[in-house]
Every structure is written in C-alpha cells, then in structure tokens.
Amino acid sequence: MGYYDDHAPKKREKKRRWAVPTVVGLVLGAVLVLLALPALVQTEMLPYDITIPEDESGLTEGEQGLTGNSTKTVDVDVTTQVTEVVDKVKPAVVGVVNMQSRTNFWEQPSDPQQAGIGSGVIYKQEEDSAYVVTNHHVIEGATEIEVVLSDETRVSAELVGSDVFTDLAVLKMSGENVEHTIELGDSDNLKAGEPAIAIGNPLSLNFSGSVTKGIISGTQRAIPQDLNGDGVEDWQSEVIQTDAAINPGNSGGALINIEGQLVGINSMKIAQSAVEGIGFAIPVNTAVPVIEELEQNGQINRAFLGVEAYGLSEIPSSEWEDTLNLPDDVENGLYLRTVSDMSPAAKAGLKSMDVITELDGNPVTDIIELRKYLYREKDPGEDMEVTYYRDGEENTVTVTLSSQE
C-alpha cells in the first residue's frame, strides 16, 4: 500500500504539467487561423470563394480586427456538370398537346380542343423539318397535334406513325425555330446506381422544362400492360427503372445520363399511394429501330398469326382433361379460343380449342410469349412450325405468317 501512496502525488503533478500547454496550444492555434484567414482570402489560395462584406465605415472584417460584430457571406460556385448538361438538353425537350374535336347533338364536329398534354424530344433535324419522338398514349385519339418549344413557340405537327406495343410515336414539324436536337446515348451500357436526369412537363405546360434527378434503379425490367383495358395482360415492356420523379405530363420526355445523352423515353409511373420513387422509361436502344420504321412506313410491320389465345393457367385445370383431353404430362400451353377466318392459322388448319405448346421447338405458355416470339423473331412471309394438341393427340403444322394490318 505504501508504494502507491508514495507515487500517487507525482502522477497527478505530471498530468497537470501536460494539460496546461495543450490548452494554451489550442487557443494559440485558433487565434492564428483567424488572423491568417483574411490573408488567405486575398491570395485566393482557398478552394472556394468567400466574400467578407464591408461595414458602414468601409472596412472589411479583417481590417476591423477580431472584435467586430460583422457577418460573413460565403459564396460557393454551384455550377456543376448536371446544370451544364440540362442547359444543353432543355431546348430539345418540348411539350406535346393532344387536340381533339368533339361532336355535338347533331353530330357536327367542334373546333379542336386541348384533350391532353405530354412531352417529346427533338431527335433529328432534316432539311426544313424536325422530328419529335413521344409516347403513343400522349397523341392517341388526336385530330390535331401541337408542339410547344422551350421558348413557348407553338408549332403544328403531323403524326408520322405510332405503335401501341412500344408506346412510341413520331411527329414531324417545321424546323424553322429548332436550334437543338438531342444526342442519343447507349442504354445497353447503363448500370444501376449511375445518375439519371428526367426532363419534361409534369402536370401541365406551366411546369415545362422541369428537371428531376435520381439514379438508374434497374435495367431490363419487365412491366406487364393491359393494352385494351379488358383486365388481361397483353404485353410486357422492357423498361429502365429510375427513382427520378416522373409524373403525368412527363410521358414522352427525356431521360438522360450525366453526359447529356438520351438513354430513355419516359413512359409510365406506378400511380399508387403506397409507391413512390419508381418511374420507367423506354430504353433508347429499343426505341431507335421502332422510330426508324415509323419514319419509313408509318407503322410497325409485325408478323401475324390470327388467333385469340389464353394460357392454360387461365383455364380451370378440370377442363384440361375433360374438355381439351390433354395428356397428364402437358402442363403448359396456349389455348386457342378463336381462329380468325382466312388468317395464317386458319389456312394452316388450326382450330379453336387447339392447345399450342411450341413455336419452332420453343415452349410457349401465354399470349405474351406468343407475341414476343412473333414480333421479335419472325417477319411477315416467314414460315413457323407450330406444335399443338387436339383431342389428346400431338400434331405439328407449318404456318406461313402474314403482316398485321
């Protein structure tokens, strides 16, 4: 016990000797920094700008000394790559106004009235004309179309063509007042987490040129769509997912990358109260071939089979054996409810209640898979081998596809 009592006072004294110089050093360091700050500002050695206001006497805070009560205003340069690319791209993003005529009691058409507003992107200028890509649903049913430029100039536009499955449409207008077109990017190289910027006209033209910023949340998302409103999914769109805010009126606008290149056409938003921050855009690499074909033909020329079909999963399993006479090992397929007269399917001998299981040896389970195969893998005039079951027996037939009207 005596050992600790003898040495305890010395340890406390040692701590006091270190504490005092430390406190003094900190105080002196702070004073030196404050004294040196005005000099550093004048030499412009700081990585940002600081403006020190003058008081009524005309002296700056540094000249007043440390006892003055004046305030400092910090002026930071916020010009970034985002603002620069937005300034470059904005003139190429336009408003698209859907004008429709309505008939009165005597079936006389009225003057066209504004029925809806969306967005569009000027992607090409050729001779005296400019071309705009937008969404099919933005111009659907329009009797007249107007394009509103970034300077609020209104220009009449004609519909070159549109496609319901890709939700794309191409407009042509005078290029007299067009000075900028957008640069196309590569949506195949997008990665989740990289910046994404959406530009469009949410809600109305009062918010034209609105900019929202987020990230790419996901690529190659498959979103089911009911195109005719019958409650049955007709198609699956492969889209880019982003958390940049996309609202009604943004449809048809631009989704750009940090380089200011167009990577997607904003198309839809999950409008549920419990869901936020999920928007979708059509990848530009998917849009370009559709745009080019719409320019050339005014429509997309797709292969046509001529059937109304449903997946077996939509039919009670009890009907599989009792009505369709399907073998136990057939678990998936496409049930034909009707076959159009004079269609390629009818000419090949397919009938209602047949169950298609394979197309060119590839399994098929629902109408979406059928359409994807027809629209992406086949062309009008090509042959397609169809494997199907009728009255419990497997059959194979070759169908010569035609063009969808």
From 119, 136, 137, 243, the catalytic residue: 137
What is the spatial distance between Cα 101 and Cα 98, in angstroms, rounded to a whole number? 10
The answer to whether residue 180 is catalytic is no
Q: Is 255 exposed, middle or buried (0-12, 13-18, 19+ CB in 10 A)?
A: buried
From 119, 136, 162, 167, the catalytic residue: 167
What is the spatial distance between Cα 148 and Cα 96, in angstroms, rounded to a whole number? 6
Phi-psi region of 44 (alpha: psi -120 to 50; beta: other; left: phi over 0): left
What is the spatial distance between Cα 51 and Cα 45, in angstroms, rounded to a whole number? 14
What is the spatial distance between Cα 132 and Cα 295, in angstroms, rounded to a whole number? 11
First to last CA, the chain: 105
What is the spatial distance between Cα 394 and Cα 273, in angstroms, rounded to a whole number? 49
Structure tokens at 249: 């009126």
The answer to whether residue 137 is catalytic is yes
3-state class of 229 per DSSP? coil
For 315, residues 6+ apart whose C-beta sits below 8 A from its C-beta are 335
The answer to whether residue 7 is catalytic is no
Strands 183-184 and 261-269: parallel
Q: How many CA atoms lie within 13 A of 195 on its CB side?
A: 13
From 251, 267, 343, 354, the catalytic residue: 251
Closest C-alpha among 394, 390, 388, 397 to residue 344: 397
Give me the active site residues, please. 137, 167, 251
